[in-house]
């Protein structure tokens, strides 16, 4: 995969979008699902706003960011886009950054503890808005991963019911890195089974990235977080 191209052409952006959507559609069809049941989220962290603009103009509507300051600058630069992009926060969120996140993002994919949930709810209520959230679950049990333990999910859902400005959309997970996409399948299946068993009322599963999104869709993903396959390898962040 080539590095990010600052002056990416509209034709190349269209081709990259077409290729990923075609792969996603085929995976959905294999699972007996409609292609439109899957949302493509472009992971734009460290990607220049000018590149995101080209993809937005080519038809990409959802963008994910992990760093608040970087995201704020991009949102300001791309404020003239119509239709407006839908911004998702996908990184680990510190509780003391909840105020900024609540002001910037309508969707958060990394809700993983009650303290954060309560702070986001309070900040969203103060702003007169509702935040949609995916609950991050650590299905792999890795110490290095954020997320709830699966056994903690039922109580967490009960606690969220008391927070009116926070609307849970579904569950999110990140499997252990493995170059073989099939290695991720058990973790995606485990998240789907967890949702079906403990949270059947939640519609969403945020799972799958550039290397394994087809497998994730086969296992039930409703939103895939794709960066490298769209934008190329990211620049390192210092």
The CATH number for 84's domain is: 3.20.20.10
How large a percentage of the chain has pLDDT more than 90? Answer: 90
Domain count of the chain?
1
Separation of alpha carbons 196 and 199, rounded Å: 6
CA–CA distance, 58 with 8 (Å, rounded to integer): 11
Instruction: Identify the DSSP state of 135.
Output: E
- 73 CB neighbour count, 10 Å cutoff: 12
In a domain, 179, yes or no: yes
Total-model pTM: 0.94
Residue 130: helix, strand or coil by DSSP? coil
Does residue 1 lie in a domain region? Answer: no
**Does 235 score more than 70 pLDDT?**
no
Would residue 65 count as lying in a domain?
A: yes
DSSP 8-state symbol, 140: T
Rounded Cα gap, residues 144 and 152, in angstroms: 18
Mind listing the pLDDT tens digit for each residue in 37-88? 999 999 999 999 999 999 999 999 999 999 999 999 999 999 999 999 999 9
- Domain extent, residue 25, equals 10-231
What is the DSSP secondary structure assignment for residue 58, as one 8-state letter?
T
Q: Which tens digits make up the pLDDT trace of 84-110?
A: 999 999 999 999 999 999 999 999 999
């Amino acid at each position: 995969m080539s590095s990010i191209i600052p002056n990416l052409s509209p034709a190349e952006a269209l081709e990259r979008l077409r290729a990923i959507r075609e792969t996603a559609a085929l995976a959905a069809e294999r699972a007996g699902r409609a292609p439109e049941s899957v949302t493509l989220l472009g992971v734009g962290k460290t990607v220049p706003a000018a590149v995101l603009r080209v993809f937005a103009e080519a038809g990409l509507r959802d963008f994910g960011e992990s760093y608040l300051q970087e995201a704020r600058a991009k949102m300001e630069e791309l404020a003239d886009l119509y239709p407006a992009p839908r911004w998702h926060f996908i990184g680990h969120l510190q509780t003391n950054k909840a105020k900024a996140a609540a002001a910037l993002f309508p969707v958060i994919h990394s809700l993983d503890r009650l303290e954060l949930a309560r702070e986001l709810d309070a900040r969203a209520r103060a702003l007169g808005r509702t935040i949609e959230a995916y609950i991050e679950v650590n299905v792999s049990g890795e110490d290095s991963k954020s997320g709830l333990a699966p056994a903690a999910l039922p109580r967490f859902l009960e606690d969220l019911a008391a927070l009116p400005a926070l609307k849970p959309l579904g569950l999110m997970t990140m499997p252990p890195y493995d170059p073989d996409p099939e290695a991720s399948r058990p973790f995606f299946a485990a998240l789907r089974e967890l949702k079906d068993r403990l949270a059947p009322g939640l519609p969403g599963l945020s799972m799958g990235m550039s290397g394994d999104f087809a497998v994730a869709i086969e296992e039930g993903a409703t939103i895939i977080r794709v960066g490298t396959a769209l934008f190329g390898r990211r620049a390192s962040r210092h």
